[in-house]
A = this chain, B = another copy of it.
């Protein structure tokens, strides 16, 4: 029982109070995100981030005790933006018929992730201690809670027995993974819209919804994504 992996300190050292300091702080975090997005986690060195942010290296260490804390804050920042956008989209679809709502929600999720494609890719595939960052767990818990409450509302509306917690957990997890996969490694032979439609269908069928006889021909689909191949 010799060497286990050490858990790094992830909390910021101190919060900026003056306006000038807040600008510095933001500049550092945003520079971090840019480096992550453009050059990957291995290139995320403290010197490089400070230089890109236009601040001295020592200023960076005023606010972050070490590189890991900086990384954690960058991740939190990106995640915040993503959840905010997702939350705004959620407002717009409450009350729609379930089938359209599902497609719209998935489309919003896809769009939000796609807009941050590069940085999200690096975060989920390269940051070694991603699951030790509190914000990540919180985001997961939030989405799971949302899924559960949707399940409850839906079950009550349809007067059907609700799905088990395990099933909801699975569906939420799988949906997130599918969207991530579709964005990060888009399969050559399916368009995003096709994938989202298929995904909505799978989820609805898995939750016991009627298989929904093919809907009317697309009168120009709701633009959820940019076009792929021409």
A interface list, Cβ under 8 A from B = 3, 5, 38-42, 124-128, 130-131, 164-167, 169-171, 173-175, 177-178, 181, 185, 187, 189-190, 194-195, 197-199, 201-202, 205-206, 208, 211
Contacts and interface: CB of A to CB of B under 8 A. Distances in A.
16 contacts: A3-B39, A5-B39, A5-B40, A40-B128, A42-B128, A125-B128, A167-B198, A167-B201, A167-B202, A169-B190, A169-B195, A170-B178, A170-B202, A173-B178, A173-B181, A205-B206
A174 to B, nearest CB: 4
A115 to B, nearest CB: 20
Contact of A166 (B165, B181, B190, B206): B190
B194 A202 contact: no
B189 A170 contact: no
B185 A170 contact: no
Contacts of A39: 3, 5
Contact of A189 (B42, B165, B206): B165
Contact of A125 (B130, B165, B195, B198): B130
Given A125-B128, A173-B178, A166 B198 contact: yes
A130 B41 CA distance: 13
A226 to B, nearest CB: 18
A123 B175 CA distance: 22
Contact of A170 (B40, B128, B199): B199
A222 to B, nearest CB: 18
A177 B179 CA distance: 11
Given A125-B128, A202-B206, 16 more contacts: A5-B40, A126-B128, A131-B185, A164-B198, A165-B190, A166-B190, A166-B197, A167-B198, A170-B195, A170-B198, A170-B202, A171-B202, A173-B177, A174-B174, A177-B178, A205-B208
Given A40-B5, A126-B128, A194 B174 contact: no
A125 B131 CA distance: 10
A152 to B, nearest CB: 17
A187 B137 CA distance: 12
Given A5-B39, A128-B126, A169 B187 contact: yes
